[in-house]
Amino acid sequence: MSSTAGQVIRCKAAVAWEAGKPLVMEEVEVAPPQKMEVRLKILFTSLCHTDVYFWEAKGQTPLFPRIFGHEAGGIVESIGEGVTDLQPGDHVLPVFTGECKECRHCKSTESNMCDLLRINTDRGDAPLEKVCVLSCGISTGLGATLNVARPTKGSTVAIFGLGAVGLAAAEGARISGASRIIGVDLNPNRFKDAKKFGVTEFVNPKDHDKPIQEVLAEMTDGGVDRSVECTGNVNAMISAFECVHDGWGVAVLVGVPNKDDVFKTHPVNLLNERTLKGTFFGNYKPRSDIPSVVEKYMNKELELELDKFITHQIGFSEINKAFELMLRGEGLRCIINMET
């Protein structure tokens, strides 16, 4: 790979030219890495629901043409001036956020919202076709439970949305020793798969004539101990907050809402000592934390079974099929092999 260092290279890319339209295979030019940059050869990528969100132009800043694929695994092809932590040939997981290690957020033990590299990379040596899913959605859901909600052993946890992120949150609740994990979803077909991730009960809001937060409160003698919302639907966010028990309940918001959504709840829900939190990438710091998550997965120290999340595998030329599967709600993570 070093033979291309310092040169402009031509690569194959799936380009979104318009909102909601099939991606088109194009040849693009990629410039050499500049100061403090690296250039990666992506080997595997996994379609994340955030890709679909911005492809449909529901994001805050719709922009086309656009190349998606932030949840991925690859190899460092070349490095720019000043890069000391990585070398060509290193196996890496690109992450959508960063960690400069110098700003107030990076030095804080309570935040991963880097001032310098916020929303816009990671070391390990593991099977990239599996661990690529840790570079976004799975880590987000897992961390939302383990790092933010922090359920205690024997507690009751509600998970809103049983897609890949929600099931990763459920996996976190299972690892934490929760006694009841209640899955909330409008799609009853998801419950069968959810059981594999520790979900013990399933509630479909369409089956009830009252708000789902009231249903959950009745099921759990006043409310769940923890809830994690993974849908991006503002009504689900409100329900996730209002379903936690007063006095000690904690609700964590993970999903990305539409830009015009407004969260409304009565102030008494806060006065009664319910806690509402949000999370960004599961509060994991990309450079400090994700390599250790990968290492714990490889050493079987973390009871995380990534194989359960990977339901489809396709070649790069079939990338539009991955979007179709996501839109139909079929499967969890579709791994895209960039070399086939």
Q: Which of 39, 45, 70, 174 is catalytic?
A: 70
Q: Which of 118, 180, 275, 318 is catalytic?
A: 118
Q: Which of 39, 45, 48, 245 is catalytic?
A: 48
Distance CA 171, CA 162 (A): 11
Q: Which of 45, 71, 230, 245 is catalytic?
A: 71
- Side-chain-side CA neighbours of 72 within 13 Å: the count stands at 21
Known catalytic residue at 100: yes
Q: Which of 91, 274, 333, 334 is catalytic?
A: 333
Q: Which of 39, 45, 50, 242 is catalytic?
A: 50
Tokens 């088109």 belong to 24
Known catalytic residue at 245: no
Q: Which of 45, 99, 105, 114 is catalytic?
A: 114
Tokens 């993974």 belong to 230
Rounded to 5 degrees, what angle do the CA atoms 170, 176, 182 make? 35
Q: Which of 11, 37, 66, 100 is catalytic?
A: 100
Known catalytic residue at 105: no
Q: Which of 45, 99, 105, 106 is catalytic?
A: 106
Angle, helix 212-219 to helix 234-242, in steps of 10 degrees = 30
Task: Tell me the DSSP string of 18-42.
Answer: STTSPPEEEEEEEPPP-TT-EEEEE
Q: Which of 39, 45, 49, 245 is catalytic?
A: 49
Distance CA 187, CA 70 (A): 27
Cβ 251 vs Cβ 240: under 8 Å: yes
Known catalytic residue at 334: no
User: What is the number of other CB atoms lying within 10 angstroms of the CB of residue 125?
Assistant: 13
Cβ 73 vs Cβ 336: under 8 Å: no
Q: In what order do the strands lie in the sheet with 201-203?
A: 201-203, 180-184, 156-160, 226-229, 250-253, 275-278
Tokens 């690296």 belong to 38
Distance CA 113, CA 104 (A): 9
User: What is the number of other CB atoms lying within 10 angstroms of the CB of residue 31?
Assistant: 10
Q: Which of 103, 123, 200, 318 is catalytic?
A: 103
- Side-chain-side CA neighbours of 207 within 13 Å: the count stands at 10
Known catalytic residue at 4: no
Known catalytic residue at 226: no
Known catalytic residue at 103: yes
Known catalytic residue at 123: no
Angstrom CA distances, 35 to 11, 41, 116, stand at 21, 18, 15
Q: Which of 91, 121, 132, 136 is catalytic?
A: 136
Active site residues: 48-50, 70-71, 100, 103, 106, 114, 118, 136, 333
